[in-house]
Amino acid sequence: MLTFLFSLLSRWPLALLQRIGAVLGRLVAHASPSYRRHLIDNLSQAGYPARSDARLVSRVAGQAGRGALELAYVWMRPQAEVLARTEATGWEHVEAARALGRGIVFLTPHLGCFEVTAQYYANHAERGAPLTVLYRPPRKAWLAPLLAGQRARDNLKLAPADLSGVRLLARALRRGEAIGMLPDQVPGRGEGLWAPFFGKPAYTITLPARLQRQSGATLLFAHGERLADGEGWRVHFSTLDETLSDDPVIAATQINAALERLIRTSPEQYLWGYNRYKTPRDAPPRPDAT
């Protein structure tokens, strides 16, 4: 049913979908106290005046709604149409990494349209470029067919967020291919450590640094800036500009600091409503917890 609904929505113009999504995003922020609390708390933690600026909260919630509804277009439209609305900056970093032949570890935060970045890479490298993306199945089983079915496309493979998925990622890097993951998603089952994120300890995934260190792959960041008026997206590729430490805590701190810099380039498009500072099951207590 949801797939059918998304198929219908995908026929609408992108600008219309995003406008409707903005309205829905604001309604959700108004109707859900917990979501609104996370949004305001996280913005405030990063130094943005969310507690005193209702317009800022409205804009951020609207961008989150745009991101949710535009997925119908990104997932269900022919790839050629999606890519026709997508441009990129920093592609030279991708070409340089591919020339080394040791694989690429792409880190894509919840910034802008993060789904379009994988499609762009997988279809714009010469003759296509295989990309394996770490994927956490949704808690709602009825969502799984839609998410998995539309994310896995030509040159784009999914790896489950478990030991078998980690093995798939490692094999892809050994073949000199690219892998991708969300570095600001709270890992589960004790698969992370506490590192500062906007000045507060956040449970942070350690897998990117570990795989990069084992394979010698190049670490790159990629995020899809949402352009105005339904024009599409601009994918930004960038480098870390420093060598990752062998110390897992320092490496996680380096990555989080780089994410902070990226987020500050388009702060209204970041998913501030996500509960980034939660303590997952099996994780040690947060260092600042009382």
pLDDT band at 289 (very low <50, low <70, confident <90, very high): low
pLDDT at 220: 98
For residue 233, the cross-strand partners are 86, 226
Token pair, residue 4, equals 């059918």
Lookup: tokens for 132 = 């394996």
Range 52-58, long-range pairs (CB < 8 A, 24+ positions): 56/268, 57/29, 58/26, 58/29
The pLDDT tens digits for 178-232 are 999 999 999 987 689 999 999 999 999 999 999 999 999 999 999 999 999 999 9
pLDDT tens-digit map of 203-213? 999 999 999 99
Please count the residues of the chain: 290
203: β partners: 194
pTM for this entry: 0.92
Tokens of 30: 């108004």
State the pLDDT at residue 124. Answer: 76
Q: pLDDT tens digits, residue range 36-61?
A: 999 999 999 999 999 999 999 999 99
**Could you tell me which residue, 158 or 189, shows the higher pLDDT?**
158
Please determine, for residue 158, whether its predicted confidence score (pLDDT) is greater than 60.
yes
* Share of residues in the chain with pLDDT > 90 (%): 76
91-137 per-position pLDDT tens digit: 999 999 999 999 999 999 999 999 999 989 988 755 568 999 998 77
Task: Identify the band that residue 82 occupies on the pLDDT scale cut at 50, 70 and 90.
Answer: very high
How high is the pLDDT of residue 136?
Answer: 79
Residues 93, 239 contacting (CB under 8 angstroms):
yes
269 has a pLDDT exceeding 80 = yes
Q: Give me the pLDDT at residue 147, please.
A: 58
